[in-house]
Amino acid sequence: HWEQKGVPLRMEIGPKDLEKEVVTIAIRHSGEKYEFDANRLRILIPRELKKIHNQMLRNARRVMKAHTRRA
């Protein structure tokens, strides 16, 4: 649902994750999932968002270059 709305990442937190103090992050554009220390989310989430932005921008520029022709 949220991926269709364009949310770049999804956090998954279950009872076992709470016990282990971890959060699983799913990245929308790549489908990758990572497990992060819940106590470091304040640092890790902005870093991940910046990484997602840079990857998506790089891919968009590559696609634009591949589909742009001189007239």
The structure tokens listed for 40 are 């470091």
- If you write DSSP's letter for every residue of 9-38 in order, what string do you get? EEEE--HHHHHHTEEEEEETTT--EEEEEG
Strands of 9-12's sheet in order across: 9-12, 22-27, 33-37
pLDDT of 1 strictly over 70: no
Tens digits of residue pLDDT in 4-34:
777 888 889 999 999 999 999 988 888 889 8
Quick check: pTM over 0.85?
A: no
The 3-state DSSP class for residue 5 equals coil
| Residue with the two structure tokens 């990857």 | 55
Which residues are 62's β-sheet partners? Answer: none
Q: What number of residues does the chain have?
A: 71
What is the pLDDT at residue 31? Answer: 82
